[in-house]
Structure 1
Amino acid sequence: MPVALSRSQRDLRQPMRSQGFTLLELLVVVVIAGITLGVVSFRALNNDRQALQSDAQRIALLLQLTRDEAILRNRPTAFEADGDGYRFLVSGAAGWQALDQNDLLRPRTFTRAPLRLSIAPAQVNTGSAATLRITFGREPIDKPFLLTLNAGDDSVVVRADGIGHFSIE
């Protein structure tokens, strides 16, 4: 004769379900986390194009600053660059002097040196054959130009409109 079991006794006789995750579920989560981490770390690393873009952005801002310095000091200033780096100069009684003591306009090296630099339209270069120089006068209006930075197959252009605006292309 079957014995009637109470509800709590019936629950004890049924197999207990585990409250944790299966090994397969854990593996799926680990794979998804690994792929996500890989994508994030890949995007976080600077590639060569981003390094060139960053250098061009910095140069554009510093060109604007040195142009403003020429107007404020009432003396010509210049940007001078070669394939490895760049610096800023100010014209004085003893000729061109580097602005080494200025924190913002100090000499710098390119992140991805050496670079090939070119300017259009071509300007008179008063430096050596391998050095490019852009001179800013005391006047607020200057000639527009394009400064091109090339590294391998990557190229970035700094566009100056002649009235103090510098943009990156």
Structure 2
Amino acid sequence: MQTLAAGNNFGRASGFTLLELLIVLALIGITTAGVGWSVRDTADSALDRDAQRLASLLEVARAQARANGSPAVWRSQNQNEVHGFVFEGLPAHRLPRFWLSDSTRTASDSIILLGPEPLIGPQTVALSNTMRPDRQVWVVTDGLSAFRVQHSSQRGRP
């Protein structure tokens, strides 16, 4: 004999209500959208990442040129479907030669002198992205301080 005592689910179906399911689905959707936006690689972040990497590579090449006592040159390559750069005057195959992003380009065929002297003179290279050609980032040095990334068009100022 069945009774209606407390804790007895007599007459009630077990499971989730439609409202509970809709709330869970909405939370999953919001979480998925948030993760998607945070993981997405934009053209701006790719350009910034390549600029930071180039600044670091230029500092490494500058230190190697000073240590070897020989001049070194960084030269961009923008011809024949090859978009990258080369370090001349340093041991071959020690430093990377290509951008992290296939859409990163230099504004023109740029050349940067890297040493062997501690003072190299002001150097600037402008980077852009084929997906956002209206935005440029500069990798600059005044010749004494380290290379740094600059987002403003006033390339001579820190």
Relative to the length of structure 2, the TM-score reads 0.75
Matches within 5 A, 1:132-151: 132-151=110-129
DSSP 3-state at the match of 2:74: strand
**Alpha carbons 2:106, 2:125 under 8 Å: kept:** no
RMSD, aligned CA: 2.5
The match for 1:166 is 147
The one of 29, 32, 48 equivalent to 2:27 is: 32
Relative to the length of structure 1, the TM-score reads 0.71
DSSP 3-state at the match of 1:60: helix
**Alpha carbons 2:50, 2:104 under 8 Å: kept:** no
| Alpha-carbon distance change, 115 to 157 in structure 1, aligned in 2, over 3 angstroms | same
Q: Distance in 1 between matches of 2:38 and 2:147?
A: 27
Larger radius of gyration: 1
> Which amino acid counterpart does residue 59 of structure 2 have in structure 1?
Q
Q: Distance in 1 between matches of 2:38 and 2:135?
A: 18
Q: Distance in 1 between matches of 2:4 and 2:39?
A: 57
| Alpha-carbon distance change, 133 to 145 in structure 1, aligned in 2, over 3 angstroms | closer
Matches within 5 A, 1:1-169: 9=3, 11=5, 16=10, 20-83=15-78, 84-90=83-89, 99-102=91-94, 105-109=95-99, 111-113=101-103, 115-117=105-107, 131-151=109-129, 152-169=133-150
| Alpha-carbon distance change, 26 to 137 in structure 1, aligned in 2, over 3 angstroms | same
Structure 1 gaps, min length 5:
1-7, 91-97, 119-130
User: Percent same amino acid at aligned positions?
Assistant: 30
| Alpha-carbon distance change, 85 to 30 in structure 1, aligned in 2, over 3 angstroms | same
Q: Distance in 2 between matches of 1:162 and 1:18?
A: 77
Question: CA offsets, 1:21-53, max 9 Å, x none?
Answer: 312211211122112112211221211111111
| Alpha-carbon distance change, 65 to 51 in structure 1, aligned in 2, over 3 angstroms | same
> Which amino acid counterpart does residue 107 of structure 2 have in structure 1?
L
Question: How far off is 1:100 after superposition?
Answer: 3.3
Q: Distance in 2 between matches of 1:34 and 1:154?
A: 33
DSSP 3-state at the match of 1:70: helix
| Alpha-carbon distance change, 164 to 67 in structure 1, aligned in 2, over 3 angstroms | farther
Structure 2 gaps, min length 5:
151-158
Q: Distance in 1 between matches of 2:97 and 2:91?
A: 8
